[in-house]
Structure formats: structure tokens, C-alpha cells
Structure 1
Amino acid sequence: MGHGDHGGHAELPPLTPGRALEFGGDPIFLIGCLLALALYGWGVIRLTRRGDSWGTGRTVSFALGVLSIAAVTCTALNDYGMVLFSAHMVQHMVISMVSPILLLLGAPITLLLRALPTAPRGHKGPRELLVALLHSRYVRVVSSPLFTIPLFIASLYVLYFTPLFDFLMGSRLGHLAMMGHFLAVGLVFFWPIMGVDPGPRRAGHLMRMLELFATMPFHAFFGIALMMASEPLVDSYATIPGSLGTDPVSDQSAAGGIAWAFSEIPTVVVLLALVMQWYLAEQRTSRRLDRAADRDGDADLTAYNDYLARLGSRG
């Protein structure tokens, strides 16, 4: 039975944390998660064998990011997400706001650039192509706040408040595309704000904080709109199996509360990461200026000593 046929989920038992995390979901995301972990592991092993170091914290962060994707797409939560708006909203918020943050803190692009071999002079290998892509006009456009902020907001309002959501929920391919879209939007939005990988020139830390806060009112209003609605806003969740013990409006209100909460928690995490990055950047700048001042001071002292020596020789 297809993803869009809710009748196939009529026998689902009540949703509990233990039941939701049972293995299930979509094998395509499972394969993708395993490939991501394998590729990242290959990069870490390659650096280690070469004698280079790679931060354990980055590896743990990336692994947690991949596991968070698997937790909402490769478990029974994916089945509940087809019939419960609240379960779907957990999937949406995790895969678009939690997973991207963890993945980006793992610096996968930096790892790939360090692990890939450099092509011979006059040739272009995977590493050179990746560098060219990172500095391309295309990446500059998709990482601009003029693109990322409207895209992030549209992913809420255009998707849920138009017939597009019901259309995508009507097929397995549409559901896969929607989950992939959530992940891509999260990565594109958070990468220029708090990503540690190389790319187009980023704005200052203060401007990045403003970019982060720019979406918060829209996210909060979206959650409130779901909580205050007196009837189902999407047809896909207008009917809920009686075994789940809830009604569509109550479940939709719970989905709104989840969306509202997720607009706050990841924002605080990203803000803390930005403050830490800002502090470390200022420390590096201060050390660099100190070293430059020391060099300049030594040069001045040497010149003064040479001047005194010349005066002495004339005497």
C-alpha cells in the first residue's frame, strides 16, 4: 500500500517513544545515512593514516546529525508521520533544524577537502571541482540571506497552507522529496550562519545573528496559526485512526506547539555556537596583531641599534 494511503495505518497502536523508535521507515534514507557515515569515516581514517589530526568533537557531531536523520526517517516514527500531524512535525523540525546544525558542526566539506588527493598540475580532480563549486556564483547566490531567509519561510507557509502538501503526501516519492527538501533547506540556511566549512565570504558575526533572528517571528506565527486553528488545515491529517486516541484538531494543535518550541531551542544552540565562534575569531585576531606588533617592535629596536652603531663609528 502506498505512502499516501492512510488506510494502511489503521491498526497503528498509540504512539509512544519506544514504539516510535522501532526500526522501520524508508530504506532510501537508511542507505543514505550509512553512506554518509562511511564517507565521513573514510575521510577520518585517511587523515589519521597520514598523520594528521581531526577533532573528535567534529566526528561525534556529524555522527549525531546522521543518527538524528535516521531517527525520524528510518523508524516507525515515519509511519506515524503519515497519519499524525504532530509526528510529521517532529520529523520536519528535527531534519530541518537539528540535523543540519549537527552535520555542519562536523565540518564535512573541510574533511573532504583534506582527505581528497590533489590532482596533478594541469588537471582537475574531485578536490579541484569541489573548490571551484564552493567559490562559484551559484553557491554565492544560494548562500545569500536574500535567498536563504525567503526559502526557509516559504518552506513553512507555501508547503502547509497550499495544496502542495497534500499532493506530496499522496505518494512515496513525494514524501521522500519533502523530507529531502527539509534537510536541504536547513543546510542551506544554517551553513552561511554558523557553518565552519569554507565557502563564499560570510557576513560578520553580528549580521549572522540578525539573519538567525529574522526567521523567528515567522516560525513562531506559523506554530501559533496551527495551535489556534479550529479545523484541520491539511486534508492529509483530517482523519486519524481511532486507535491513536486523538482527534485531528488536537493533534494539529500539538503540531503547532512542536513547531513553536523548535523555533526557540535550535536558535539558542546556534546563537551560542555563533558567540563562541566570534570569541575564538577575536582571540585569533588579537594573537595575530600581537605577533605583528612584536615583529615591528623588534625591527624598530634593530634599526635604532644600527643607528647608534653608526653614530659610534663616526665618533
Structure 2
Amino acid sequence: MTPLLTTTVLAWMPPADQPPLTLSRMLTAWTFDPFMVLPVLLAGGLYLAGVRMLHRRGDQWPVLRTVYWFAGLLLVFVATSSALGVYDRTLFVVPAIQHMLLQMIAPVGLAMGAPISLAMRTFPVAWRRVVLAVVHSGPVRFIGHPAIAFAFFAITQFAFYYSPLYELSLRNVWLHDLSHVHFVLVGFLFFWALLGVDPVPHRPPFFLRFMLVLGLAPMHILLGIPIMLMNAVLAEDFYLEVGRDWGPTLLDDQAVGGGVLWGFGDVSSAALIGAFVVQWYRSDEREARRTDRQLDRLHGSSPTTPPWWLEPEHEGSATPVTPKGES
């Protein structure tokens, strides 16, 4: 099998010189790259097999976890196989949208799906030990710390756009696909470490995790605004070779893409911040209820505890008050 045929069978990219992007094309243009589609199908099939195994032995698995997992997989599929996958080498704004879906949105659902917890409940005992050994190994403990995962998350975005990697990914099918896989994996690592739904090597304070979420907004400002204001076109040689003669100019297209990187990231960050505030509020409520139960166990079910000056050892120290009219 020749290298060209091998590439065509395992992975491919649609031509970059696509026709004008109309509403009809948005709905009907699809591409099915085996390198991207097959892992999504495999991940979905293995997850369903695990859930089915639990149900067969009478155990329950939260339906919402399954919904999260398949929502994440669906977003990966749409980002790489719909019109976004067809036009991601034609317009700069399209890979910008792809990037946000693959690294910012889809990994949240995948992390909330708790795949490692599902594996721990379905694997044989020997395999569970292997999974735990990997989770708590030195390399995973390093990259699995939320601060380190955040660093990888941020560096990935800047390195991709502000280096030759972006143009190379437009020209080479393997770099093109591997960049998509990398976005998903780096995003999953960050949200897996941050949310802590699965077994993780670190459980940092809530405040640290909240500050990392807060740091997503300025990171996307630093990423998107400079691209919006650039006078030079990223991967200009490639786009000139494509010779697109419809739609926005190269600079206008790039400015819109930079705005997507900025605005999309900020909206996603705001949603995550809101979710963390709710989680913080609920954790405070749970702590308050836990404290109330502890007090009830110590002092009974009375609504209040007598103040210190009414306790027996202080009864004699209070100054008696003589009612009016009595001597």
C-alpha cells in the first residue's frame, strides 16, 4: 500500500478551495475523517458497554453522567465532521470556532462523564489497581495538578497560533488531525484536574481552582485581541495559494476569528465561573448543615444552646436585680 493510499484510508482533509459558505452548505457539508470519527465511536461504544455491565449486575450509573459524556463526544464529532471540518482550511474563523469547541466546551462534558470512575467500577480488580497506579504515578501527578494542567492549556493555544504550527497543520493531514486530538486531550486534562469528578492525584483548595477558572478570561483576551489587530495574515502563503475569491478579505476573516477566540473564551469562562460560584454556595450550605447536625448530636434538638452566663458555673456570679417596690 503506497503512503498516499495509506494516508487516504486512515486520515484525510477536504480540499481547501471550497465553494462559498451558504446556509445550505452549513447544513449539508460533511466530512468523515477516520482518524477523528473512529475514536469517537470507540469511546462511545466502550462507555455504553461499561454502563450496560453495571446495569446487568444490578448497579446504577447516573444518567446525567452518560448525557455529559455523549454531549462531549457529539461536540467533537460536529467540530471535526460537519461544515466546520469541511471549511477549517478555507476560512480562519472556522478553525477558531473548532478550537474553542474542542478545547473549551467538549472536554467539560467528557470530564463530567467520569470515565475513570466508570472504568474502576467495571474493570477486574487487577486492572483497577493498574488504573490507580497510573493516576497516582509521578508523571500523572505532575501534569494532573490543576496549575500545571492550566499552564499546558494556555501554552497550547498561544503556541499553535503564534508559531509555524498553524500553517503546518493546514498543509499536513497528520498535524491537522493531531492538533484536534491535542486540543481535546489538553482540555480534558485541565477540566479533569479542575473538576475532580473522577479519581485525581490532587485535591487543591476550592479557592485555587476558582482562581484558575478566573484566569481563563484574561488568557483569551491576550490570545484573541492581538490576532484581531494584526496587520499581517497568519499562514498567508497558504491562504494565497488557496485563492479564495468569496467572503471576507484575509485580514477581515482573521479579525473575526480573533474575536471568536476572545469572545467565545470569555463567554465559556463566565459560564464556568458561574458554575463554580453555585458549587461554592452549595458547599457552604452543606457545611452549614453538617455543623448543625453536629451541634444537634452534642446538645440535643433544642433550637439554641444556653448562653454562658446562664450555665450552672456562672449562676452565682450574676448580680441580682431587685424589683421596684421591694426593699
**SS of corresponding position for 2:228:** helix
| Residue aligning to 1:308 | none
| Residue aligning to 2:215 | 214
| Residue aligning to 2:232 | 231
CA contact (8 A) 2:90 2:244 kept: no
CA distance in 1, matches of 2:60, 2:298: 33
| Residue aligning to 2:37 | 30
- Shift of residue 272, structure 1, vs aligned partner: 2.8
TM-score by length of 1: 0.83
2:107 aligned with 1:85: no
CA distance in 1, matches of 2:22, 2:109: 25
Structure with max Cα Rg = 2
Aligned counterpart for 1:99 among listed residues 98, 101, 106: 106
Q: 1:45 to 1:290 in 2, by over 3 A?
A: farther
| Residue aligning to 1:127 | 128
- Shift of residue 34, structure 1, vs aligned partner: 0.7
CA distance in 1, matches of 2:66, 2:74: 12
CA contact (8 A) 1:226 1:253 kept: yes
| Residue aligning to 2:247 | 245
CA contact (8 A) 1:133 1:139 kept: yes
CA-atom RMSD in angstroms: 2.5
CA displacement 1:177-232 (0-9 Å, x = unmatched): 11111111111222222241111222222211111122321311221111111220
CA contact (8 A) 1:194 1:274 kept: no
Q: 1:177 to 1:39 in 2, by over 3 A?
A: same
CA distance in 2, matches of 1:188, 1:56: 23
| Residue aligning to 2:162 | 161
Q: 1:242 to 1:168 in 2, by over 3 A?
A: closer
CA distance in 1, matches of 2:135, 2:275: 23
CA contact (8 A) 2:96 2:257 kept: yes
Code of the aligned partner of 1:218: M
Aligned length: 290
Of stretches 271-280 and 235-244 in structure 1, the one that deviates more from structure 2 is 235-244
Q: 1:215 to 1:273 in 2, by over 3 A?
A: closer
| Residue aligning to 1:276 | 278
CA contact (8 A) 1:160 1:234 kept: no
| Residue aligning to 2:66 | 59
| Residue aligning to 1:142 | 143
CA distance in 2, matches of 1:169, 1:75: 17
TM-score by length of 2: 0.80
Q: 1:199 to 1:147 in 2, by over 3 A?
A: same
- Shift of residue 61, structure 1, vs aligned partner: 1.3
| Residue aligning to 1:114 | 121
Code of the aligned partner of 1:191: W
CA distance in 2, matches of 1:133, 1:276: 32
Code of the aligned partner of 1:82: R
Code of the aligned partner of 2:277: V
- Shift of residue 128, structure 1, vs aligned partner: 1.2
CA contact (8 A) 2:216 2:266 kept: no
- Shift of residue 153, structure 1, vs aligned partner: 2.2
Q: 1:276 to 1:128 in 2, by over 3 A?
A: farther
Q: 1:47 to 1:273 in 2, by over 3 A?
A: farther
**SS of corresponding position for 2:231:** coil
CA distance in 2, matches of 1:16, 1:191: 37
Q: 1:296 to 1:114 in 2, by over 3 A?
A: farther
Unaligned 5+ runs, structure 2: 301-327
Q: 1:285 to 1:46 in 2, by over 3 A?
A: farther
% identical equivalent positions: 33
- Shift of residue 268, structure 1, vs aligned partner: 2.1
CA contact (8 A) 2:196 2:203 kept: no
